[in-house]
């Protein structure tokens, strides 16, 4: 590919992002009291003062910034007039938060997940076994609604981490586990994706009942949801005997980014999100290759109507921006694998406590054993 062509694609993406930053900030200013107040206090009117990402960063420095405790204040004033889907964050790093998703937000959501599948090079006719978290959490939505998964080109088997009731007799437990194993053999997935803990714990439980990974030919395992520690990605890849791919997806921002086959980092989904890294104390961007806190703005085209605004929002995750050049040909910015500082122990298997990651697998296995 010609260098000029690559540069042209990057320039086009930059223009698109600035266009969408203008649309998203103006809509938020006009249709959300809390964000309107933040912009007003900063002396910024998005209609006249924000032409793109650099101006949005100036607004951040003047105090236009949001975090998890602000989500409930960031619903659009027109939300009640729209058909809405309501989801909740898992609460892995704090109190669960409610998000209102409009049709346009869902389309944005689906675009991001479809992009991630294309980075994994899921081919026509291939089969994807998915392990979402139970509803109403984020991965249950992402795997149920992504049109790519529902297209005739791929086949999907959704496993909702079924439990085996404790009250069953041993032979009944055995029979039930064997039925799950038979389903997986029959489906014979090319790709496995899901919440890390589910892919880990459920698979280990089935292996204990005789599931043989040698009989399967899984090419990739990919992780959605909260940041998945590298040791765990590696361990699950080894468990499924497949190449592990990280994905960074959240209830707030949907698909933030996904790893490609070059494994050079996470390709940020810049068509739909502006993500940069900052030092919150200094209110400054950090340089490339330096780890800072994430700062995200969900991007929308003019005329689209999100029901929850995510503007200059931080998940409080740690990551670094790396480069917008990758051997795969993508021109989107690469970021390092994010990490999250969990404030408390995970609830019911959602999220992972970084301090206890060594015992993660054992704890997950114990949890499954207790459930059966
Ligand atoms: Zn790449």
C-alpha of residue 239 to centroid of ligand 1, in Å: 25
Sign of CA dihedral 230, 234, 237, 243: positive
The total number of structural domains that make up the chain: 2
Q: Please tell me the predicted confidence (pLDDT) of residue 99.
A: 92
Is 319 inside a domain boundary? yes
295 with 344, same domain: the answer is: no
350 and 210: one domain?
Answer: yes
**In a shared domain, residues 289 and 202:** no
Centre of ligand 1 from the C-alpha of residue 253, in Å: 21
Residue in the structure block whose two tokens are 């998915």: 130
Quote the ligand 1 centre to 329 CA distance (angstroms): 6
pLDDT score recorded for residue 346: 44
What pLDDT is recorded for position 136?
63
The pLDDT, as a whole number, for residue 349 is 40
Mean pLDDT by 10 residues, the chain (372 residues): 84 98 98 98 98 98 96 97 87 79 91 88 88 68 63 70 80 93 94 85 89 94 81 94 93 93 96 97 95 98 97 96 93 94 49 38 52 48
Euclidean distance between CA atoms 334 and 269, whole angstroms = 10
| Reported pTM | 0.85
Is residue 54 in a domain?
Answer: yes
Centre of ligand 1 to C-alpha 334, Å, is 8
Distance 41 CA to ligand 1 centre (A): 40
Number of residues that make up the chain = 372
Whether the bond into 123 is cis, omega within 30 of 0:
no
Considering the domain boundaries, does residue 93 fall inside one? no
Has residue 96 been placed in a domain? no
**Residue 158 three-state SS:** strand
Q: In this structure, is residue 173 part of a structural domain?
A: yes
Domain, as residue range, for 67: 3-82+268-328
Q: How far, in Å, from the CA of 119 to the mean position of ligand 1? A: 8
| 185 and 217 inside one domain | yes
Residue 195 sits in the same domain as residue 298: no
Ligand 1 centroid–CA 260 distance in Å is: 5
Q: Where are the beta strands (DSSP E) in 206-269?
A: 220-224, 243-250, 254-259, 266-268
Determine the distance separating the centroid of ligand 1 and the alpha carbon of 316, expressed in angstroms: 25
184 with 152, same domain? Answer: yes
Same domain, yes or no: 7 and 154: no
| Location of structure tokens 């260098």 | 3
Q: Is residue 229 part of a domain?
A: yes
Tokens of 20: 């969408």
The C-alpha atoms of residue 92 and residue 250 are separated, in whole angstroms, by 11
For 60, the enclosing helix (H) or strand (E) is: helix 53-61
Q: Ligand 1 center to residue 152 CA distance, Å?
A: 26
Note whether residue 89 is domain-resident. no
DSSP string, 272-313: TEEEEEEETTTTEEPPTTS-EEEEEEE---TT---SB---SB
What is the whole-number distance in angstroms between the Cα of residue 76 and the centre of ligand 1?
35
3-state secondary structure at position 205:
helix
Same domain, 242 and 272: no
In this prediction, residue 146 carries a pLDDT of 63
Q: What pLDDT score does 234 carry?
A: 94
pLDDT at site 344: 47
Same domain? For 195 and 287 the reply is: no
- Token reading at 316: 């409080």
**115 and 241, same domain (yes or no):** yes
pLDDT at 105 (0 to 100): 94
DSSP string covering 135-156: TTSHHHHHHHH-HHHHSTTSEE
CA 86 – CA 118 distance, rounded (Å): 27
Name the 3-class secondary structure at 264.
coil
Whole-number Å distance, alpha carbon 332 to ligand 1 midpoint, is 8
> What count of other Cβ atoms lies within 10 Å of the Cβ of residue 250?
24
Q: Within the chain, what is the greatest distance between any pair of CA atoms?
A: 70
How many whole angstroms from 254 Cα to the centroid of ligand 1?
20
Token duo for residue 321 = 């921006």
Give the three-class secondary structure for 257. Answer: strand
CA of 262 to the centre of ligand 1 (A): 5
Q: What are phi and psi of 183, to 5 degrees?
A: -60, -45
């Amino acid at each position: 590919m010609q260098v000029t062509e690559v540069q042209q694609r990057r320039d086009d993406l930059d223009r698109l992002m600035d266009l969408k930053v203008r649309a998203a900030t103006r809509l938020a200013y006009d249709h959300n009291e809390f964000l309107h107040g933040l912009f007003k206090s900063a002396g910024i009117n998005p209609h006249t003062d924000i032409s793109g990402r650099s101006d949005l960063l100036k607004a951040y420095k003047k105090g236009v910034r949001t975090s998890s405790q602000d989500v409930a204040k960031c619903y659009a004033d027109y939300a009640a007039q729209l058909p809405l889907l309501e989801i909740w964050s898992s609460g892995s790093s704090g109190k669960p938060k409610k998000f209102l998703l409009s049709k346009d937000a869902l389309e944005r959501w689906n675009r991001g997940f479809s992009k991630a599948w294309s980075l994994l090079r899921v081919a026509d006719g291939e089969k994807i076994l998915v392990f979402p978290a139970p509803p109403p959490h984020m991965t249950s939505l992402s795997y149920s609604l992504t049109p790519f998964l529902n297209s005739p080109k791929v086949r999907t088997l959704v496993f909702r981490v079924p439990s085996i009731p404790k009250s069953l007799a041993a032979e009944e437990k055995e029979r039930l586990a064997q039925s799950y194993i038979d389903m997986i053999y029959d489906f014979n997935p090319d790709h496995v994706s899901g919440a890390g803990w589910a892919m880990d714990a459920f698979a280990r439980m089935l292996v204990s009942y005789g599931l043989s990974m040698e009989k399967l030919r899984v090419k990739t395992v990919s992780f959605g949801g909260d940041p998945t520690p590298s040791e765990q990605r590696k361990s699950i890849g080894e468990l499924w005997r497949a190449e592990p791919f990280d994905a960074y997806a959240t209830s707030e921002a949907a698909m933030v980014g996904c790893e490609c086959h070059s494994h050079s980092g996470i390709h940020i989904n810049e068509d739909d999100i502006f993500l940069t890294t900052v030092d919150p104390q200094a209110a400054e961007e950090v340089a490339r290759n330096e780890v800072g806190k994430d700062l995200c703005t969900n991007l929308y085209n003019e005329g689209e109507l999100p029901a929850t605004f995510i503007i200059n929002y931080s998940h409080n995750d740690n990551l670094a921006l790396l480069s917008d050049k990758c051997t795969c040909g993508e021109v989107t910015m690469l970021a390092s694998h994010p990490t999250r500082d969990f404030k408390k122990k995970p609830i019911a298997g959602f999220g992972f406590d970084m301090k206890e990651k060594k015992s993660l697998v054992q704890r997950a296995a114990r949890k499954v054993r207790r459930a059966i």
